[in-house]
Structure 1
Amino acid sequence: MVKASVPKRPTRDEFELEDLGSQLEEAREDGDERALSVWGETEKVRGRIMVLDSRTRLVHVESEGTTRKIPFLDIMRVSYE
């Protein structure tokens, strides 16, 4: 029996992750709505960045009154769309 392979999350270097962290921090400070491309999801996640939790490595995104917690490493791109 062949085990179905799940695509792995792309690896990124230290500089890419640092840049992503800076973009998320800027988005949190601005309070503007952003679109996040999240690994494994077909649609972008839209909302305001409320919390960047360094302990759990989760990004709290608020949209339409609900808060969604997304793992930092699953966020591929931040945009204004």
Structure 2
Amino acid sequence: MAAKTKTPTKKKEPKHPDRDEFDLEEITNTLIEVMDGNQIKIFTIYKRDDQLTGTVTKMDANTKLIHIKDKYMNIHKVHFLDILKISDIDY
């Protein structure tokens, strides 16, 4: 009986980036402020080349999706853990 050789497994890229509890709490607080104040912000999102500019219209606790409306009135549903940074708009 021939011995099976293990094939090297590819290291899977994580679905969401790893961050500590402090970072997640800070993002949560910023999202709440942005939604309550109807503010336009720039969102840096994991695995997305371009940044998303818009306002937070809804935060769904069940699906952990953040609904962001851009200037063209399109709604982008972004997973909470994929939001890397929220910044102000520079005019």
TM-score class, shorter-chain normalisation, is 0.7 to 0.9
When normalised by structure 1's length, the TM-score is: 0.88
1:1-38 deviations in Å (ceiling 9; x for gaps): 87765643431111110110000110001101111000
Distance 1:30 1:66, change over 3 A: same
Greater strand content:
1
1:25 alignment partner in structure 2: 32
Q: Which structure 1 segments of 5+ residues have no match? A: none
**Superposition pairs for residues 2-81 of structure 1, below 5 Å?**
7-8=13-14, 9-63=16-70, 64-81=72-89
Larger Rg: 2
**Rounded Cα–Cα distance in structure 2 between residues aligned with 1:47 and 1:6:** 31
**Rounded Cα–Cα distance in structure 2 between residues aligned with 1:5 and 1:41:** 21
Q: Any runs of at least 4 consecutive aligned residues in structure 1 with deviations exceeding 2 A, and if so which?
A: 1-10
How large is the Cα RMSD of the aligned pairs?
A: 1.6
Q: Which structure 2 segments of 5+ residues have no match? A: 1-6
Say how many residue pairs are matched. 81
Q: CA deviation at 1:42?
A: 1.3
When normalised by structure 2's length, the TM-score is: 0.79
1:14-71 deviations in Å (ceiling 9; x for gaps): 1110110000110001101111000001111111100111111000001111111000
